[in-house]
A and B are shown apart, each in its own frame.
Chain A
Amino acid sequence: MRGISRRTLLQRTMGASAVLGSGLWAPGVAGADDDLTKRCGVPLPLPHTTAGPFGPLHFYFPGPIDGSLAPTDATGVHPEGRDPSTITNFEGLVGNVDLEFSGTARDTKTGAKAPYTFHTDSRFMIGDFIASDQKRHKGAFAFL
């Protein structure tokens, strides 16, 4: 959920290079399935990478799975297909969206309200996957 467009920003900054990512990973914080208590492995990222401002990003922009040109994906066509999952070694159901939407924002200190617009590329994945422990698991995930 971004107050400014993720896609636009990545396009503007593509070509720069540096080391990617120091974000935190908190599996199961949003909830856990029974399988999680038995799992030591973690889901692995899609091998495909899109150039990002600080290094490669393991995902495709949204668009048709046949990899054809799409206004939501400025990186062009993908003859190998445009896999919407961010997880590799995966079999299951996937949904993704590229949406723009508005609403009301509020400054919690002043109480001031103002219209605010977000852009999002959000996804779900639910099914089976081979984790880093090389074992098959069931799980559900959200790309937010």
Chain B
Amino acid sequence: MKHWLVLLALVATAHAEKLATLQIEATGAPAITLRGKDVRQQLLVTGKLDTNAERDFTHRSSYQAAPAGIVTVDASGLIAPVADGTATITATADGVAATIEVKVENAGSNPPVNFGNQIVPIFTKATCNSGGCHGKSSGQNGFRLSLLGFEPTEDYEHIVKEARGRRVFPAAPDNSLLLLKAIGVVPHGGGKRLDPASDDYRLIVRWIAQGMPYGAESDPKLASIEVLPKQRTMALGGEQQLVVLAHFSDGAVQDVTRSALYEPNDKSMAKVEEDGRVTLFDQPGDVGVMVRYQGKVAVFRGTAPLGAPVENLPAPRNFIDELVFAKLKAMGLPPSAPCDDATFLRRVSIDIAGRLPSLEETRAFLADAEPAKRDKLIDTLLASSEYADYFANKWSALLRNKRNEAKDARGTFTFHAWIRDSLLTNKPYDQFVREIVAASGDIADNPPVAWYKQVKEPQQQLEDAAQLFLGMRLQCAQCHHHPFEKWSQHDYYSFAAFFSDVGRKGTDTIFPRRGVATAVDKKTKQPVKPAGLGSPVLEIAPDDDPRLALADWMTHTDNPFFARALVNRYWKHFFNRGLVEPEDDMRETNPASNPDLLDALAHRFAESHYDMKALIRDIVQSRSYQLTAMPNDFNKSDRQNFSRYYPKRLTAEVLFDAVNQLTGSQSAFPGMPVGTRAVALPDNSFNAGSYFLTVFGRPESSSACECERTQEASLAQCLHLLNSKDIQDKLAAPTGRPALLAADNKRSDNDKLRDLYAVAYARDPAPDEIDFCKQYIAKKSAQEPDAAKKPAAVRQAYEDLVWALVSSKEFLFNH
């Protein structure tokens, strides 16, 4: 209740904030110059409150330009030139004013329109060239545009020359088919895309009237785009106008706010209007808004703090806590309390070793008075072979260790064992990756060759390697410039060239062919040499395996992707949410929720010589990891600041093993020793015979994406736990835990129930839980009139209780 009062007080304070000063800007420069008739400029009005906080007032200001007749300013702060001259624009809000000077030049001129720089972006903004419309490779109804306008020369051909030029009509530009369709006058499958009153429409008209110039080779080219502001702390529910500036090769800067496209990385946090206005919802946190314009991308980061007082933070254990807590302070998001020993034991055993703690472990840990017992437990778990089993299970799926047919078993068992051995011996991650990427030989002799058995084509190899080891999804760039990234087709094929000398004998033997590594760029049809992403072209001698050069580039401590991709992947493993989400889509336009933390983790990982166990130790030793999952009054909706532990459903394998452990049954996977744990299975082939594993989403090892594992809940899962023969057989097995507990006459129900709770939840039952269970057993027994059948009734009661535990959230989740 007290917290709610604080919260109310917070809201009240926010309303009492007063605007102190106002600043008007547009390009970051003190004055604005508009050159030409077509240019527009979005204003950005920022107010400073008496609390020193900055807020956007662009849409809350009124605008005046003096003298009149030079420019117009609309209510959204968009300036348009009218005549040459200089004017002063005044923005006024809540009685506070700010001014900026604007100079207009060449307002009457009619410079030739540049097709690529000015016309194509209109198609992009109007989604004419999207993948679902004219932008798909086959076009739409005979009219084709390059996807998202990446190929202006092709678009020009199609608009101006194709179909005998019927799409444009210079004599009467308004009668051009292109425009008639776009404004919906002539029937158009895509409906109305342009407003005849818009600037965009007028520009196309003028371009057609000019005789459809393409633009000169010497015309400036788009070099980059910039978004203003880059970052802003916003109020919950607040808004922020963005200004997007295009920088051209001649140094010119032009406003393209209305032509750019906007997309928030978390749609539950914010929306963005077409004119670049960001509106936050009421969820505290960070949101990234990706801004795209003609193949260039930029990102705005909005932060919406809750603003609650953050006090009594636990003492930071390590750099992770310092950075997590700093973020929580900045957000005004008080973290939940530290979790108790029982919760920690269960949580960390599942997260590191993929299993519940045993009864003995739970008893010993809870009884241990040693202050450093959590650290001790972490070290024990990291040294266990179960750690290797669990993480081998994770990597085996990502590395596509898939059994397609029975005779593949030798290969999949071997590769799985290699992965497991690598983890068990804590092989440095860079070496692990190097041995995979540059693998040669046959699987029996050099198991990571198995990766090449599954990942057959050079393009698959580069895409998997980029996604898995660099967190980069390059697939799009195979056919066109990556829409959300800076990567071009040239970058794609330069990366593909690393795999161009992979020789293959049969399916199981890989060797490097001698030769100069090149891949043919699908767009230019020209061979390109290998280059790391964003790195210069490498000259690799014909005798050298280009994959070694790739491994060198990837694993260099300066590589901006390699360490970050792994620490983000592992962060997600433990926290159920990546610092970047999804964990293998680490593009520039998808910023981390805590970039400093991502940097620090990556830096430390590289410094440790890619020590995976050390990374895990840092993570699970942190107080941040050891927070309880129970929300406090402030952080229930927090999903990205790690102010509490985010519970996660046990994975298929862990749950399968946990059910066996609780029910006292043993697995019987075909061909494997009885009792083999599901997390220790070598490949995907066991899914087919196990409905349990399938329904709970064990992956088939078909993809380098973690997303192949489904963690969603489904009705089928509930039904399986509730009334499948599989689970019923385990509960009712004569050698199962319920039968054994029921038959044990030496111990009290209290003790037996304590055992059950310890195995299922790693904790003692609460008094009311004990009472409830005992009453249930007594009731079942009482309901059976025949004394001889009473033991059976008690056994039934135990079965029911175990059944209830299996179906409980506390069991099904790691929390």
Verify that A and B bind, or say they do not: no
- What is B's interface to A at a CB cutoff of 8 Å? none
